[in-house]
Amino acid sequence: MSAINSSISPIRHLAYIIRAELAVYPGRVSLVTRIVLACASVMVAVNVFRIPGAAIGAYYPLLLSRDNPQVTRDSALRIAFACILGAAEVIVGGVLSAGSPFLHFIWVAGTLFVVFYLISSLKFLDAATAMAVLIGIEIGLWDEPMSAEMRVTQTLYTLLSILIACGLSVVIEILFAKKPSLDAVLDGLRQRLALVEDLLENHASLGRRPSPLGIQLSRYAAKGVGDLQDQLANSNYESTYKEQLATVLALSGQLVELAANLAESRVTLSSDDINRCFTIAHNIATIRTCLLCEEAPEWLDLPEDSAAAGSPILIEIERTVDLIAQSFADENLPFIIISQAPLRRKGQASSSAMLSEATNTSGSRYAAP
């Protein structure tokens, strides 16, 4: 750890982490509101219908993915199916092992082993976690001194509360779902570019402490651009437009990953690196302004000695920004008026070639030292 980081007290470091985790990002208020409303609706339904032992259902809306109503519905179906299987396993295993303490121990140990294995191996972590929580709670219930009929009833009531939580969460997501914007893909692209621009303009705080900006970049890097690519695939753009915008989205995802690594790195920037940060930030601001005004960004000409010295991550960020500008400087974009200003430069590579070049030049990710 650097001297700058070692000088920060643990309390201040914890305060920085808390502030970064509570930082506001686009859509967070709406997301929290929908989660709270879903949990509260489940509790209201449980109390109105007097469902016994159903308080656990109020926690299950927290496990659902909320990228869009379709993803929420799929997540709810996975969780519901997994919990039905978990409840069936608990009831069958509990009934068969009720007469023998040894069989009961084997059943509990085997069930817990399978649950932990599923959590570590399944692709759908939400379904595995939901089933694990249900099984963990119901195993304790089957150790209580009560009749088998009461145990089965309590297990089914708990399963009912989980199904209610999944159903209400899906309904709330559908009711509060925003109509997709015609420029949803470009809006998502502008948000990512704005984060990278802010990072480069605040270069003095790189690696100093956990910052809200670094947390947001890490989240966007982990999320990727899959949601934007899905929206692009379902858009009404022609195939040539989709191919070009897909290239730009892939480059923007790479740019966010590089910026997240830069935010986590503990490097001392030289004066040349600081100037490079301001230059790249200015170029990104130009691209965002052009996108907002529905114009094609200018082709960015990199200096011939741009890779001669400086931070390797900054060099790759600069190249990626240049490739994004080159990808946009194409007459095929739907908002560019070709008759007024043909934008393809002589010898310009195709979108696929640009993406291939970007992938080859930065095949390895720069980890924080």
- Confidence (pLDDT) at 107: 93
Per-residue confidence band for 365, with pLDDT thresholds at 50, 70 and 90: very low
- Confidence (pLDDT) at 182: 54
Phi/psi of residue 23, nearest 5 degrees = -65, 145
Structure-block tokens of residue 274: 């600081």
Does 67 score more than 90 pLDDT?
no
Tallying the residues shown for the chain, one arrives at 369
Angle between helices 312-328 and 239-264 (to 10 degrees): 160
pLDDT in tens, 199-241: 888 765 555 555 677 778 887 888 788 778 877 887 777 777 7
- DSSP tally for the chain: helices H, then strands E: 14, 0
Q: What is the model's pTM? A: 0.61
Does 17 score more than 80 pLDDT?
no
> By C-alpha distance, which of 313, 314, 277 is closest to 201?
277
- Confidence (pLDDT) at 88: 95
Question: Measured between alpha carbons, how far is 44 from 80 in angstroms, rounded to an integer?
Answer: 20
Structure-block tokens of residue 183: 């420029």
Q: Other CB atoms closer than 10 Å to residue 149's CB: what's the count?
A: 8
DSSP letter at 310 equals S
Q: List Cβ neighbours of 205 (8 Å cut-off, separation of 6 or more).
A: 211, 213
- Confidence (pLDDT) at 330: 53
Q: List Cβ neighbours of 94 (8 Å cut-off, separation of 6 or more).
A: 107, 138, 142, 148, 151
31 Cα distance to chain centroid: 13
Angle at 364 between CA 363 and CA 368, to 5 degrees: 150
Query: Could you give the dihedral angle defined by the CA atoms of residues 89, 95, 99 and 100, in that order, rounded to the nearest 10 degrees?
Result: 0
Among 147-151, 195-199, 210-214, which stretch is predicted with the lowest mean pLDDT? 210-214
Q: String of b and e for 116-137 (b: at least 16 CB within 10 Å)?
A: eebeeeeeeebbbbbbbbbbeb
Does 355 score more than 70 pLDDT?
no
pLDDT in tens, 28-57: 788 888 999 999 999 999 999 988 888 888
Does 264 score more than 70 pLDDT?
yes
Does 110 score more than 90 pLDDT?
yes
Question: Measured between alpha carbons, how far is 90 from 82 in angstroms, rounded to an integer?
Answer: 12
